[in-house]
Amino acid sequence: MATGIVNLRTLILGLLALKPMSGYDVKRFLKGLSWLIGSPSPGSLYPILRTLLEDGRVTVETIPGVDRPPRKIYTITEAGRRELETWLDQPAAAQAPLKSFVMRLLLSDHYAPDVLCRHLGHRRDQVAAKKAGLLTMTQALDGNQDPGQHMALEYGLALASAELAWLERTLETLATKTGGEES
């Protein structure tokens, strides 16, 4: 079955949905966001662009550069947008890497705002579950064992709490902005 078509492919497709770009442009864009999601190596980037083209998700236009190498500008197609929306419609898997959620943050505001809200809500539930799990673990090993484990759990808890707080804050501001008052 395979998670199949997942990560880099979708990310690249998503960036091409923002605006048409060359492979090099994609590389630079992601390099700028490398603190958030890390940029792919050319060894994965270019092959992915080729498969996207073969699958009809993008079209190419080669622009012969004056005084510089020719650039191949990729533009997303209707089929490409459908693939992207299919991916955006399904919530991120529970153990999916952080990157997977950040990608949804980056891309989902181009579609209906409720898509973004759903992702935020889903993530909130996941992080809440994670926090609860970590709390259980902490109590389970209580005073009994090695400090390394304890410290690791505390660390995880601190991060989960902060993330949860941000998610709830953001959801609230979104609710007041779009929904207005409903009481």
| Coil, helix or strand at residue 41 | coil
Per DSSP, helices labelled H in the chain are 8-18, 23-32, 42-54, 78-89, 98-108, 113-141, 147-178
The count of residues interacting with its own copies (CB under 8 A) is: 37
Cβ of residue 59: shortest distance to its own copies, in angstroms?
Answer: 23
CB nearer to its own copies: give 27 or 130.
Answer: 130
Q: Does the protein bind its own copies through residue 152 (CB under 8 A)?
A: yes
Contacted entry of its own copies, DNA, none for residue 105, CB cut-off 5 to 8 Å set by kind: its own copies
The residue (of 49 and 134) whose beta carbon lies closer to its own copies is 134
Q: Specify the stretch interacting with its own copies by CB under 8 A; choose among 58-66, 70-78, 80-88, 108-116.
A: 108-116
Contact residues for DNA (CB under 7 A)? 1-9, 22-25, 28, 38, 40-44, 46-47, 49-50, 65, 67-72
Burial of 146 (0-12, 13-18, 19+ CB in 10 A): exposed
130 contributes a contact to its own copies by CB under 8 A: yes
The answer to whether residue 148 forms part of the interface with its own copies (CB under 8 A) is yes
Contacts by 38-47 with C-beta closer than 8 Å and gap 24+? 38/99, 40/8, 40/11, 40/12, 44/8, 45/8, 45/12
- The residue type of 116 is L
The correct pick among 18, 93, 112, 175 for binding its own copies (CB under 8 A) is 18
Cα dist from 25 to 20, 30, 32, 82, 106, whole Å? 9, 9, 11, 23, 17
Q: Give the interface segment with its own copies, choosing from 1-9, 20-28, 50-58, 102-110 (CB under 8 A).
A: 102-110
